[in-house]
Amino acid sequence: MFDFHATVWYTIVDFAITGHYDLARLGGNTPAKTPRRPRERRFYQQEEKMRRFGTQGRVYPDRHYVVPRTEEIADFIQRVKEGRYIVLFAPRQTGKTTFFRLALETLTTQDTTYFPIQLNFEEYEEYAAADFYASLYREIKKEIERVFRKHRKVPADALVRFLENTTITDHVSMHEFFRKFGERLVYHHNNWQRVILFIDTFHGIPLALENSFLASLRSIYLTDRPYCPHSVCFVSVKSIIQRDMVNAVSPFNIQDAFHLPNFTFEQVRELLTQYADEVGQGFGPEVVEALYKQTVGQPFLVNRLAEILTEEMDILKTELITMRHFSGAYARILQEHNTNFEHLLTHIRRDLRFEDILMRIVSHSIRGVFFDRHNECIDELTTNGVTSKGNDGTCQIANPIYFDYIRQIFGTQLKEIEQESLS
């Protein structure tokens, strides 16, 4: 059926792209189509399917531009294969969940003998012990069923009966469950040899249960191989030894810390190149350099600036993105309220000592602050991605965007301090 409104729209698009339009199309009797020129093809491909720069939660390769992190994933997978109990930690909104899910997908594609159980502790912080372990077992059962469905396999009757007749009520019964599940899985389904346990947002575990939970996993790790789980990965904003324990010392001294770094310059360039190749709109080389320099590769900030430049500034897709555009995007991000800045502000205002340290760092008239991770405040600010160690051994703000944003927050106070120092 002839759709007049759609036809007019595509006629306007044709004129905007090619400088001419097809009168026959307006009559509804469009002649045989002629091959579209490269720019036209690119436009219509954009309309059909266009990925975006991800700034809201987990990133999906089919919907977003993604940094592969090939070397980091290879390192992580090797640790899993070696049976290590890994703590993957980095500040919020640095791509932790995306990274570990990509790594998991890569591992299970390469080697089908791994049986992955994925959990998330985000909602558990206020749970009582009985509720926590009951919910934990329900989630473990769901994951086991999901893996079987994914591989189009039916679990053995004996394994089904075991799962139906088992409960987890505390850390001891959890230890016993994994031992028995590992034995039955290998006996009835010997294609799966090694269970790997992935726990996202581990810092959501009820604090009163953390020590005993970790002690059970440590006990499993120290038994003779093979043990179940073969490998465990915790995803958290802190390494476990940094967390406040009920007791003074964490029982989890077996952890293999895996810190997820910011993007490198090459990774930032690769991310922007994905967009340029797909859409046909390039970034000037000086823009790529400036974007990396001002963000120091912080994943959210990289993607957010790219998102502003490609979606919110009405730059023609036929136009090169230049430093003039970048300056506008930079000014815009400093004036907005986004979740990353909200987290930053929450950490800063949680403790007056944080404010004092940060004002001393960003003030041009006060001597710098020595970088000391034994200092509780500096350690906390660094763990949360606010500060880092400078080349001269002093504390510095983690990236120029945070520096400018913090100066905005403390604007009036900083002026008073700087004026006093000059008087």
- Condensed to tens digits (0 to 9), the pLDDT of residues 332-384 reads 999 999 999 998 898 888 888 998 899 889 886 667 799 998 999 999 899 88
Domains along the chain with CATH numbers: 4-49 (no CATH), 68-259 (3.40.50.300), 265-335 (1.10.8), 339-422 (1.10.10)
* Cis, bond preceding 35 (omega within 30 deg of 0): no
Cα–Cα distance measured from residue 415 to residue 423, given in angstroms and rounded to the nearest whole number: 12
What per-residue confidence (pLDDT) applies to 237? 72
| Positions in the chain whose pLDDT score sits under 50 | 1-34, 36, 40-41, 43-47, 245-249
- State the alpha helices, DSSP H only, in 238-366: 265-279, 285-295, 299-307, 323-335, 339-349, 352-362
Cα–Cα distance measured from residue 246 to residue 208, given in angstroms and rounded to the nearest whole number: 6
What per-residue confidence (pLDDT) applies to 24? 42
What pTM was estimated for this model as a whole? 0.80
For 389, other C-beta atoms within 10 Å of its C-beta total 15
| Backbone φ, ψ for residue 410 (5° rounding) | -100, 25
Cα–Cα distance measured from residue 270 to residue 248, given in angstroms and rounded to the nearest whole number: 45
β pairing state of 85-89 and 64-65: unpaired
**Token pair of 5 as six digits:** 């409104």
Q: Are 254 and 218 a contacting pair, CB within 8 Å? A: yes
Q: In 3D, which of 49, 47, 18, 50 has the Cα closest to residue 34? A: 18
- Condensed to tens digits (0 to 9), the pLDDT of residues 190-219 reads 877 899 999 999 989 999 999 999 999 999
What per-residue confidence (pLDDT) applies to 412? 75
Q: Which amino acid is at 423?
A: S
Q: Are 115 and 185 a contacting pair, CB within 8 Å? A: yes
CA angle 298, 277, 74 (to 5 degrees): 50
* Secondary structure (3-state) at 142: helix
* Secondary structure (3-state) at 367: coil
Q: Are 319 and 287 a contacting pair, CB within 8 Å? A: no
Cα–Cα distance measured from residue 6 to residue 2, given in angstroms and rounded to the nearest whole number: 9
What per-residue confidence (pLDDT) applies to 400? 97
